[in-house]
Amino acid sequence: MNNTSPAEIWLTVVLVVIVMVVLFIVFRELVCWYWKINRTVALLTEIRDLLARGSGTNLIAGGASSDRVEPTFQSMAAAADKDTQGSRDAATRLARSGHSVEEIVRELQRWRGLSADEAREIANTVKQ
């Protein structure tokens, strides 16, 4: 027969669980380091914070800075170039959602990199 007491069995179980938890934490860190998961999470968090600051939109809660639903320029900014047609399309979307000429000019300058005169010309053309 086996002469192990219940206290010894519980001690063994607790030690095995502690060892497994420690091994899990160590191997998890190794996997995260190897696949650069921690770095990716940090970069994505930084990008999210920069986009939230630049757009005035609470991206985490999914809320907008005003009652109306505003088109997001983040997706347009990713492919932003200074071509006139792309800027005109962006301005048209803003005009359709009820933005004023000044708001359109400001957004075209911010996300499309246009000068004030270029943005104003496109905004006035679209708003007519």
List pLDDT tens digits, range 62-114. Answer: 544 444 434 455 445 544 444 567 778 888 888 888 888 888 888 888 877 78
Which helix (H) or strand (E) segment holds residue 18: the answer is helix 6-34
CB 93 within 8 A of CB 126: no
CB 94 within 8 A of CB 107: yes
> How far apart, in whole angstroms, are the C-alpha atoms of residue 11 and residue 32?
32
The DSSP 8-state label assigned to residue 83 in this structure reads -
pLDDT in tens, 36-70: 998 999 999 999 888 888 765 544 555 444 444 34
CB 76 within 8 A of CB 104: no
Structure tokens given for 96: 């359709």
Instruction: Say if pTM beats, i.e. exceeds, 0.95.
Output: no
